[in-house]
């Protein structure tokens, strides 16, 4: 729990009225309608200093849990305590043992937020906005400005992108209800801070609870962004490969149709494969694992790569180029042409996961130029 101290300097008399809607469990649901109807105390009149804290209580459904929280609140001398994971249904407020509890939940007994204030502070409450089971705004009267408190329970690793977007939209909506000159405290369970979590590390602990040492939303958002970028990169690489393949195919057809000027008539009628013997190999296969995709595709030790997808000696840069094609062609056949025993041999290999290392299960090294 964190405990900031808030100081107020002046008084104001304001009023508020609420439309009461009966609900179960002796709780009342209220829709805030701020209007001057009675004298209202201010935080400064009641307190020179406010002790404010927030706590993820896991649930308020357990018998006696509310009493324990009130006792702890009195022991720590907290004036205002924000609650996450209240798990009460609906929205409203109740009074219990001199404390006022404002809560905001959903249709199910999960998530939910709330704010408990001690009896004297409750007299300064102007109203509240129960935006969702993750966002609750409470206004406390003050002078010259009011105090706004937003209690949140951020989405966890089990939430989807739609829930994440809704949470931040609700948070923005809550902020728009606050005047720019009024102090605003946004508190609650943000699932701590990220600590170098990558793409594969678990976001929950051994018991299945969200980890408390990382910012779950930041991790999920970063992973989502990486996934989107990877998908975009795959699409771009596919377009580049298709375009390069088309360009090289057009070049081969032109060479096949026109033929080199210095070839004899008998040579100019040779097949396209025979005419492309002047192409240079750019990589050598020096290992093929048994049972690997490379072996099933027909690659052999000693094969010299003339073509692999859209890559040829003219545009080959390094082995990362081949690795990129394998990654983005996973599960799809890739056309390759190898030089084997002085002859060009066309093959189709399909990069994929298998019991061994890599997507092809072979070792390829660049040819020395």
Q: In the prediction, which pLDDT does 139 show?
A: 94
Reply yes or no on whether the pLDDT at 249 is more than 70. no
Reply yes or no on whether the pLDDT at 253 is more than 80. no
- 290/293 Cα distance (integer angstroms): 9
Q: In the prediction, which pLDDT does 226 show?
A: 63
Give the residue with greater pLDDT, 204 vs 10. Answer: 204
Percent with pLDDT over 70 in the chain:
66
Structure tokens of 251? 């070049």
Reply yes or no on whether the pLDDT at 354 is more than 50. yes
* pLDDT tens digits for range 324-346: 888 888 888 888 999 999 899 99
Reply yes or no on whether the pLDDT at 310 is more than 70. yes
Reply yes or no on whether the pLDDT at 49 is more than 70. yes
Please give the C-alpha separations between residue 326 and each of 196, 265, 301, 361, in angstroms, as whole numbers. 29, 41, 19, 11
Q: In degrees rounded to 5, what are phi and psi of residue 139?
A: -105, 135
Percent with pLDDT over 90 in the chain:
38
Cβ 105 vs Cβ 133: under 8 Å: yes
DSSP characters for 24-79? Answer: STT-EEEEEE----S----HHHH-SEEEEEEEE-S-S-STTHHHHHHHHHHHTT-S
Q: In the prediction, which pLDDT does 215 show?
A: 66
Q: In the prediction, which pLDDT does 209 show?
A: 78
For the CA atoms of 315, 321, 327, 330, the dihedral, rounded to the nearest 10 degrees, stands at 30
* pLDDT tens digits for range 155-167: 865 667 788 889 8
Reply yes or no on whether the pLDDT at 89 is more than 90. yes
Reply yes or no on whether the pLDDT at 145 is more than 50. yes
pLDDT band at 241 (very low <50, low <70, confident <90, very high): low
Cβ 84 vs Cβ 188: under 8 Å: yes
Give the residue with greater pLDDT, 130 vs 33. Answer: 130
- 17/249 Cα distance (integer angstroms): 77
Least confident stretch, 7-16, 101-110, 171-180, 263-272: 7-16
- 78/117 Cα distance (integer angstroms): 8
């Amino acid at each position: 729990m964190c405990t900031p101290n808030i100081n107020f300097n002046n008084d104001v008399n304001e009023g508020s009225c609420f439309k009461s809607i009966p609900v179960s469990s002796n709780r009342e649901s209220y829709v805030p309608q701020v209007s001057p109807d009675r004298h209202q105390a201010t935080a400064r009149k009641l307190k020179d200093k406010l002790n404010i804290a927030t706590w993820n209580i896991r649930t308020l459904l357990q018998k006696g849990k509310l009493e324990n929280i009130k006792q702890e609140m009195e022991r720590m001398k907290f004036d205002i305590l924000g609650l996450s994971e209240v798990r009460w249904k609906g929205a409203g407020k109740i009074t219990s043992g001199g404390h006022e509890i404002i809560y905001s939940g959903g249709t199910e007994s999960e998530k939910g937020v709330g704010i408990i204030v001690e009896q004297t502070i409750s007299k300064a409450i102007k109203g509240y906005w129960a935006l969702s089971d993750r966002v609750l705004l409470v206004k406390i009267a003050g002078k010259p400005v009011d105090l706004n408190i937003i209690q949140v329970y951020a989405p966890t690793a089990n939430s989807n992108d739609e829930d994440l977007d809704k949470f931040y939209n609700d948070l923005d909506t809550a902020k728009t209800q606050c005047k720019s000159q009024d102090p605003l405290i946004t508190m609650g369970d943000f699932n701590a801070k990220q600590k170098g979590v990558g793409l594969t590390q678990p976001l929950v602990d051994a018991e299945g609870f969200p980890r408390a040492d990382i910012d779950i939303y930041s991790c999920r958002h970063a992973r989502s962004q990486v996934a989107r970028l990877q998908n975009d990169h795959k699409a771009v690489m596919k377009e580049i490969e298709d375009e390069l393949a088309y360009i090289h195919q057009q070049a081969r057809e032109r060479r096949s149709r026109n033929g080199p000027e210095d070839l004899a008539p008998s040579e100019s009628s040779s097949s396209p494969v025979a005419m492309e013997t002047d192409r240079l190999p750019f990589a050598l296969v020096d290992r093929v694992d048994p049972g690997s995709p490379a072996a099933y595709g027909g690659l052999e030790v000693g094969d010299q790569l003339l073509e692999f997808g859209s890559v040829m000696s003219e545009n080959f840069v390094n082995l990362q180029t081949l690795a990129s094609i394998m990654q983005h062609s996973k599960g799809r056949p890739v056309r390759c042409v190898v030089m084997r025993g002085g002859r060009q041999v066309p093959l189709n290999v399909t990069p994929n996961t298998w019991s061994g290392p890599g997507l092809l299960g072979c070792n390829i090294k660049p040819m020395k130029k």
